[in-house]
Amino acid sequence: MELVLLFIITLVCTLSAVAIQTHPLDPLTPAEFKLVRTIISKSYPTSSSHANLTFQYVGLDEPDKQTILSWLSSKSKPKTQIPRRAFVVARFEKQSLEIMVDLSTSSIASTKVYKGHGFPMMTIDEQFVASDLPFKYKPFIESVKKKGLDLSQVVCTTFSVGWFGQVKTNRILNIQCFYTNETVNLYARPLEGITVVVDLDEMKIVGYSDRMVAPVPKGEGTEYRASKLRPPFGPKLKGSAFWQPQGPGFEIHGQTIRWANWEFHVGFDIRAGPIISLASVYDLEKQEYRRVLYRGFISELFVPYMDPTTDWYYKTYFDSGEFGFGQSASSLQPLTDCPSNAAFLDAFYQSSQGSPVQIPNAFCIFEKYAGDVMWRHTETGIPNQVITEVRPDVSLVARMVSTIGNYDYIIDWEFKPSGSIKLRVGLSGILEMKGGKYTHTDQIKEESYGTLLADYTIGLNHDHFLTYYLDLDIDGEANSFVKSNLETVKATVDDHGTPRKSYWKVVRETAKTEADARINLGLKASELLVVNPNKETKVGNKVGYRLIPSSVSHPLLVADDYPQIRAAFTNYNVWVSPYNKSEKWASGPYTDRSRGDDTLAVWSKRDREIENKDIVLWYTVGIHHVPSQEDFPVMPTLSGGFELRPTNFFERNPVLKVLPPQHVNLPNCTIKS
């Protein structure tokens, strides 16, 4: 009786916690994760030894877009709560189940067995269990002994294996191991040539090889912890103080952020990581908020390594779909990851057993005072006058860091008073390194597939392709994609009566279908815009936002190489598709061991109409990385990104009337000895 009463009390408290949600796009709460686990566990008991239930993905089932927009426009206070649902991908009896859980009724709304290719994202829990298996495996133990290494100083980690044309695929991964004696920089000391193959459904070793191909690199010079480094230190950086006597300029209400002329919602997903929704900018002249972005996030990160040899060819990772940006999020460190004026938000995801896992300080929100200039002009053309007007720039940054194995990805969304949104990713962490036979480049007579960084240590060439999902709603849902091509025009003296021989003009082309909007940047001079064809400025220009890329890279793998078949969504820098709630993962919903048959590149073959429709812009940031010695033993941050900039969205400069922030003198401080 007491147990029954305890269950009822727990369920009532859980439902109460679910009911107090104030925003329909808020991520699932710990109480909701517990409720999901309770509901599903009842329907899928695990009493038999073969019936193992694991939760691979649990996330908010995003309400229909029109439902959200109606909720936003509702004048009722408090707003009517939209029923919340959770979408779950679970493994049960070696099958992938898609389960929709209605949180408002505490019931399963639907269940479907996935029959297609590929497997769901791997959980951290099962990766940890798999990584421990080699230490109970006699052939591995013998290999370590033969190398003269201390088994207690060996650590192992997991690597996805991809797909290379196999007709039948099992849910397996590879384990490779490293030596930590003398250093915590494990990736600098690989046990090259040892590979352990683990079946995740059986959770047992199904393959093993030891090729004894190279010595273990030395640990000397690989340490990066400040407490372990020795003089001389430098370069010396002096400290600074930051003080806002009136408090921060932003407000946080649940997951909604308000700052200056911006309002947006910060969400979190175990796969995508940070999700920015409902970003609207305030128009001073119209005296209203105008929507720019309905929803945006990193859909996939493709990282292929350029070593086709036996122990490395399969290393072609899809970090979001295989490992999860969200579940790999790191707790941000105050004063180092984020400045002293930052506020922090926690995040939660589910363990493989369905219980909530907290990530403290998963996000930081801060105002960025970088010494940049918002706008300025010095006028000396008026006699006896020198007129100078300057406005210092301030922006708001929402940041998360995802550490996936050796790499740390610093993900920034930066909002500017001018109406621009800058999206940036910083790459840091540790290179993935291969043990080699060389101590000097003179010894290298064959292809090494990378750069010799230190004795017996090769940093391998690789790529990073980050594909962003951007559901832009420029002043409304009905938008069009416009290519403004800059074309050279030859001129003669007879044309204009001047000696000019050429100029360029803008030739605009509106994409009618998806095929019209597939673009590889850098091939011609052009500007790319998303416009609202139904809204104009006073002088008749269509309101819009334009995409401003930074550096541009394209895939260099051949199109029929298996990794590139799976990553065909990187074949173009830009894609545009009609909005479809189910089309959000560029690599497909089941990426691990996928075959490239359910990706953005496949969906786009339908060549659907996109003119004056609710459309999604997909943009891929590409970085070719040739390692250098400066990247060793830990890599200084390398950044890439792009800007979404208003283009005829406002009637004039939206920050014309911004007044400079008032200078604040720090209070006098005295130090008593």
Length of the chain: 673
DSSP 3-state of 505: strand
Q: Name residues whose C-beta falls within 8 Å of residue 442's C-beta, 6 or more positions apart in sequence.
A: none
Bond before 555 cis per omega within 30 degrees:
no
Task: Name the CA dihedral angle for 553, 556, 560, 562, rounded to a multiple of 10 degrees.
Answer: -90
CA-CA distances (angstroms) from residue 560 to 314, 557, 588, 594?
15, 8, 18, 15
Known catalytic residue: 349?
no
Rounded Cα distance, 568 and 562, in Å: 10
In contact, 361 and 342? CB cutoff 8 Å = no
DSSP state at residue 277: E
Rounded Cα–Cα distance for residues 665 and 662 (Å): 10
Cis, peptide link before residue 235, omega less than 30° from 0: yes
Nearby residues of 443 by Cβ (< 8 Å), 6 or more positions away? 437
Residue with tokens 């792009």: 642
Residue 224: phi, psi to the nearest 5? -130, -5
Q: Using an 8 Å Cβ cutoff, are 49 and 82 in contact?
A: no
Of residues 179, 187, 407, 562, which has the active-site annotation?
407
Report the distance separating Cα 109 and Cα 61, nearest Å. 12
Distance from C-alpha of 27 to C-alpha of 275, rounded to nearest angstrom: 10
CA dist., res. 107 & res. 63, Å (int): 17
Which of 269, 307, 311, 319 is labelled catalytic?
Answer: 319
Q: CA of 465: how far to CAs of 310, 456, 514, in Å? A: 24, 29, 21
| E strands in 180-237 | 194-199, 204-210
Q: 10 Å Cβ neighbour count for 261?
A: 19
Q: Which residues of 509-548 are buried (b: 16+ CB within 10 A; e: fewer)?
A: ebbeebebbbbebeeeebbbbbbbbebeeeeeebbbbbbe
Q: Cβ-count burial of 151 within 10 angstroms (0-12 exposed, 13-18 middle, 19+ buried)?
A: exposed
Indicate the helix (H) or strand (E) that contains 494: helix 493-496
CB distance 428 to 406 below 8 Å? no
Task: Report the chain's C-alpha Rg in angstroms.
Answer: 27
Note whether 103 and 84 are within 8 A (CB): yes
Rounding to the nearest 10 degrees, give the CA dihedral for residues 97, 100, 105, 106: 40
Asked if 607 is an active-site residue, the reply is no
Q: Which are the catalytic amino acids?
A: 319, 407
